[in-house]
Amino acid sequence: MTETVYTVTGMTCQHCVASVTEEIGAIAGVSEVRVDLPTGAVTVVSAAELSDDAVRAAVDEAGYSLAER
């Protein structure tokens, strides 16, 4: 298992959290998504390391932005 922390910008409410969680959770191999709304930190647990492009596309689909790491 791999645990990676990303920063998502633009989230302001629990609906935002739910959208980001749903979109990232749909990526193949993702088993858990934890979002800390105040900091924008999104912890993703997956079977293998994910490509930043896949995570960025999921976050974009949810309507938010992935900060550069």
Residue-wise pLDDT for 45-66, tens only, equals 999 999 999 999 999 999 999 9
Domains with residue ranges and CATH for the chain: 2-66 (3.30.70.100)
The DSSP string of 34-51 is EEETTTTEEEEEESSPPP
* Whole-angstrom distance, CA of residue 1 vs CA of residue 61: 25
Angle of the 52-62 helix axis to the 14-25 helix axis, nearest 10: 140
Q: pTM for the complete prediction?
A: 0.94
Mean of all residue pLDDT scores within the chain: 97
DSSP structural state of residue 27: S
